Amino acid sequence: DTEVTQTPKHLVMGMTNKKSLKCEQHMGHRAMYWYKQKAKKPPELMFVYSYEKLSINESVPSRFSPECPNSSLLNLHLHALQPEDSALYLCASSQTRGQLDGELFFGEGSRLTVL
């Protein structure tokens, strides 16, 4: 299995809702990432987990809460989002050969709309 799988593909939520995005990979990668991508823009790094520990948080608002339950799973918990948070949320993974490998394997993304 050489894919990163994200669910759901589409999500519509109100500003008071609580929802979660899920990501799964079975390539044995020990680094996992969350990116946010607006239309026709590059991905913006949000969080990096390395060996299930949060190693990078790019000053993301607390209404986004990541979680890495095990080496194959990555969640992004969403609460009290704003309409400007509407975007494509991408999960990625990479190998860790002593350091993070810059070759990222991306999922198809979860398209989030906040009403």
Partner 1 sequence: AQRVTQPEKLLSVFKGAPVELKCNYSYSGSPELFWYVQYSRQRLQLLLRHISRESIKGFTADLNKGETSFHLKKPFAQEEDSAMYYCALSGGSYIPTFGRGTSLIVHP
Site of interaction with partner 1 (CB under 8 A): 4, 33, 40-43, 45, 48, 56, 90, 99-109
User: Nearest approach, Cβ of 75 to partner 1 (angstroms)?
Assistant: 19
Return d(Cα 80, Cα 16) in angstroms, integer.
5
* Of 52 and 108, CB closest to partner 1: 108
Select from 86, 84, 64 the least CA-distant residue to 76.
Answer: 64
Residue 111 tokens read as: 């398209």
User: Nearest approach, Cβ of 18 to partner 1 (angstroms)?
Assistant: 27
Q: How many angstroms separate the most distant Cα atoms in the chain? A: 43
CA 72 remoteness from chain centre:
13
For residue 79, the cross-strand partners are 18
* Of 4 and 87, CB closest to partner 1: 4
Return d(Cα 37, Cα 11) in angstroms, integer.
15
* Of 69 and 102, CB closest to partner 1: 102
User: Nearest approach, Cβ of 38 to partner 1 (angstroms)?
Assistant: 11
User: Nearest approach, Cβ of 64 to partner 1 (angstroms)?
Assistant: 18
* Of 83 and 102, CB closest to partner 1: 102
